[in-house]
Structure 1
Amino acid sequence: MSKLYSPDFPFRPAGLPFHYGWVIAIASAASMVASIPGQTIGVNVFNDELIVALGLTRSQVALAYFIGTAVSGAILLWAGKIYDRIGARRLIVASSISLGLSLFYLSVVDWIPLAIARLWSLQGALNWMLVASITVGFFLIRFTGQGFVTMAGRNMVAKWWEYHRGKVLPFTGIGVSVCFSLAPIVFYELIQATDWRIAWRVLGLALALGVAFFGWLIFRDNPQECGLSVDGGIAPGEKQKDNPEFSVVRDFTRAEAIRNFAFWIYNGIFALQALFITAYVFHVLDLAQQLGIPDKRILGLFLPSAVIGGLISIGVGWYSDRFRLKYFAAFMASGIALSAAALVVPVEGFLIPAIIIGMSITSGCFGPISGAFIARYYGVSHIGAISGVFMSSMIIASATGPLLFSYCKDYTGSYFAAFVATLIGAIALVIASFWADNPQRKLKREE
């Protein structure tokens, strides 16, 4: 097994005529794409099929999604240490296979309660059995997909790039954004061409066989184990030399990081984005009916948002290597505020452009900031443990969003109150971002 995962097997990255960090950046992007079946944007198009197959209400499915996602997020709080112990390569192989098997489970999620009911001599599956079955399925894909598959790729890049991390991430991020935006349409067409069970099995096979092999072949945890250097010897820019914003004076432990004010501001921004975007995507077809927009038109908004977001990502990544990261965090929070404002006041001529621009800003900032934040503020020695808390917050928030929005619709008849709350929270985070300073700056002054 040690030979199988040797950094120089089946080829030596140090023997290639270019810096292997570029390959790592592309491999990281591929892992982000591979996580789509475990992301909300990859699940939402299956919701109506699940509601019919299981005979549940939309709120019951949202509740199952909340429980499954929240439990996975809570476990991920501690599971992040696994990354620090086994590295990206072993983790991507294990998590890809696990996500693939989880999709196979979901393809028979309605059969399992029926089989149990027959064993218990019941005339049919009880409602709680149906809810429990889908909850387990949601837990499995969220824990393996949004959790470990995403973690393996994102943290790996942080170890291979330091001063030029912001420039590298956006170029691969464009492809990721486009793939995420196309996923609902592609999955929808796959379901229409086959059925929802076969669609999940096709995706499961692609992950368990294709992505797992790709990860084993290409992934390498860090440049040092390959006999290479961070950034491939590319010198830092003039503004980065001796700048405490870009130089890690001391690596933080997880306990130290979570006591830092800035950590929770970034956590708050990404958690609110996860909550809002997940709720929006989860209820997008129902929201389309409420707004009087055709299904295909509202699904089609993801593509222009991805393209514009990709361009924004390049700009944010490029300039984040020159300026303080907290300003870009404020910019990201403003994108959430704009999207929410558009839905609070759905004025014709403003609604669609504002949604596209707001979503573009949040998606464009997501990659560069999430890929640089922990490594720049707290170092990489405990990046798995710290990112476990960071991702746990996002996952739990993404679990909460669909349920809260669903209950808001059930009790008020619309999503208006939920959009207002999102807008208020986003504005508060925009303001708080200006005090989210890099703790390395203080350490540099104390030297």
Structure 2
Amino acid sequence: MSRVVLRRCIVRGRIQPARTSDVRAPGPRATAPNSRDGATPRHSASHDNRSRTEVPMVSSSVGGVKSPRFFYGWVIIACVWVANFVTVSINPLVFAFFLDSMSVDLDVKRSTLVWGITIRMISGGLFAPYLGRIVDRHGTRWPGAVAGLVVGLVLIGFAFTSNIWIMFGLFFISGLTGFSIFGGNMLTMVPPASWFVAKRGRALSIATSGQLFGTATFAIAAALLIEAFGWRWAWAIFGIVAIVGVVPPYALLMRRRPEDMGLLPDGATSLPVVEVTSAVASPTPTAPVASATHREEPDFTVAEAWRTPVLWANLAATTLLMVAISPFLLFRNHYWTTLGFSPTLIAIGVALDPFSFAIANIAMGFFAERVPIRFTGVIGGVWRGFGMLPLTLGMTWPGSVVLHNVVWGIGSGTTSVFQTMMIPDYFGRTNQGAIRGSITPIMVTVSALGAPLGGYLLDAGVSYIAFFWGIFLAVTVASASFFFQKPPKHAPAATDPPTRMPTST
């Protein structure tokens, strides 16, 4: 008697007929060649006294799997790119250009004003678990359209606000959208990871580059608009741009997953692999070696992910990075101002940061498809360390602004590859929104204290050089820990058997 087990595999291309040479005796753990760091898929083959043979099915447009000439996933990437581009105006790097003008006009200290960023991060972190589950279940189409409208109206609201408490309330509302909140931006991180698996590195990098080019563009635009029209008009213009850039694309073009449109991730054209299991005992049990044309995905639930040490390690390292980097991005502009550097030079330097970020991010996205992704986190930390030297060493020549931003951008872009790919690569696509949402409250709430803490330290008389050395130490420790964050091992669940077709004799 034989049993036929049907299992869907993610494929990179057409599946070639199985050969006798494609089987081998199992060791302690059968690992797919394309599984980085030896990650064990959730539904890996068990090594018992049964022989297995893979029976591939021919690529076709039947059986619900289309063979598209153009993969719709790239439309999804375009929508996310635009959304990332137009919603960066509220992130700390761009907001830094508004600090001086707003603090004078509203008659508040800079350390008080940056509490708005903290409040925004906290509200985004607290709402992230709910937003993550909404995105996993319903997709990002209508949640994204509504969020785009809300964030645009909030930015316009800044233009009419004269009370700091009303502004704090607007910051709180903007955080609920998840846009431009690291770890909480489900509406732009989940779609690329859902539509791509084998090409996930490049897809996420291209989508993320929208935020980077947007930061460069809006940093320069903020400096010019504030000087020409004032900070209120600058916020109003940014709000209109956010609404136009997010609402129509998400409402008209965004879709949840390729399977909802009868497609496979990455634009693959192969149908599922059929695995035939024989119940006849074999003296030399064998298991098929995973073909180089496909890559199985892990599939963790939220509870299972929380039981893995790597999730806790990544949460601690990422939180430490965010605590350190948030005040750094906010106050480095003021440091350069105290050295007598012109606002134009600072704006150009800050604009170069996201450009170098984007170039490094895209390049390392391709690189991460071929090596363990944790290496990108370590390499990024090295670049960031070198980028800190002009500040920690107290360089006062104007070129140090450009040097710092270019090198820092390369490091940030490289590290970002690991941070964006880690959840879907280590824990799977199915629950990535819920898993990311479950860690965001802790990560964002703790790291949100970084901006006001940095402001209070500087207001209390701590020198900028000591401030920068503290950030350098935090970045070094967190980045070094990425090297040890290997994919979790996930044994097959006894209560989660494969789907079986009727038996035959």
TM-score relative to the length of structure 1: 0.81
Are residues 1:260 and 2:308 paired? yes
Deviation digits for residues 283-338 of structure 1 (CA, Å, limit 9, x no counterpart)? 23311123443222122112333333233223311111111111111122333333
The aligned counterpart of 2:192 is 157
The aligned counterpart of 1:311 is 359
Q: Distance in 2 between matches of 1:202 and 1:100?
A: 9
Kindly indicate whether the alpha-carbon contact (under 8 Å) linking 1:275 and 1:394 is maintained by their aligned counterparts in 2. no
Identify unmatched segments of 5+ residues in structure 2: 1-65, 271-288, 498-505
Output the amino acid matched with 1:342: P
The aligned counterpart of 2:390 is 342
1:345 to 1:325, Cα distance in 2 relative to 1, 3 A: same
Kindly indicate whether the alpha-carbon contact (under 8 Å) linking 2:195 and 2:266 is maintained by their aligned counterparts in 1. yes
Kindly indicate whether the alpha-carbon contact (under 8 Å) linking 2:83 and 2:245 is maintained by their aligned counterparts in 1. no
Are residues 1:278 and 2:326 paired? yes
Larger Rg, first or second structure (1 or 2) = 2
What's the offset of the Cα at 1:38?
2.8
Output the amino acid matched with 1:295: P
What's the offset of the Cα at 1:168?
2.7
157, 165, 174: which one aligns with 1:105? 157
Kindly indicate whether the alpha-carbon contact (under 8 Å) linking 1:72 and 1:142 is maintained by their aligned counterparts in 2. yes
Q: Distance in 2 between matches of 1:223 and 1:287?
A: 48
Within-5 A mapping of 1:251-400? 251-347=299-395, 351-352=400-401, 355-392=404-441, 395-396=444-445, 399-400=448-449
Identity within the alignment, %: 22
The aligned counterpart of 2:285 is none
What's the offset of the Cα at 1:242?
6.1
Q: Which moved more, 1:16-25 or 1:144-153?
A: 144-153
SS in 2 for 1:300: helix
What's the offset of the Cα at 1:221?
1.0
Kindly indicate whether the alpha-carbon contact (under 8 Å) linking 2:84 and 2:214 is maintained by their aligned counterparts in 1. no
What's the offset of the Cα at 1:353?
6.1
The aligned counterpart of 2:86 is 34
What's the offset of the Cα at 1:351?
4.3
Q: Distance in 2 between matches of 1:44 and 1:348?
A: 21
Output the amino acid matched with 1:233: A
SS in 2 for 1:146: coil
Output the amino acid matched with 2:354: A
What's the offset of the Cα at 1:23?
1.4
Q: Which moved more, 1:322-331 or 1:365-374?
A: 365-374
Q: Which moved more, 1:215-224 or 1:189-198?
A: 189-198
Identify unmatched segments of 5+ residues in structure 1: 1-13, 114-129
Output the amino acid matched with 2:296: S
1:220 to 1:52, Cα distance in 2 relative to 1, 3 A: same
Q: Distance in 1 between matches of 2:411 and 2:332?
A: 17
Deviation digits for residues 412-445 of structure 1 (CA, Å, limit 9, x no counterpart)? 34233332222222222233222100014x648x
The aligned counterpart of 2:103 is 51
Q: Distance in 2 between matches of 1:393 and 1:335?
A: 27
The aligned counterpart of 2:466 is 417
Kindly indicate whether the alpha-carbon contact (under 8 Å) linking 1:257 and 1:386 is maintained by their aligned counterparts in 2. yes
Kindly indicate whether the alpha-carbon contact (under 8 Å) linking 1:341 and 1:419 is maintained by their aligned counterparts in 2. no
62, 74, 79: which one aligns with 2:126? 74
Higher relative contact order (CA 8 A, sep 6+): 2
1:354 to 1:253, Cα distance in 2 relative to 1, 3 A: farther
Task: Output the aligned Cα RMSD.
Answer: 3.1
Are residues 1:167 and 2:183 paired? no
Output the amino acid matched with 1:19: F
Q: Distance in 2 between matches of 1:15 and 1:191?
A: 50
Q: Distance in 1 between matches of 2:204 and 2:117?
A: 30
1:339 to 1:443, Cα distance in 2 relative to 1, 3 A: farther
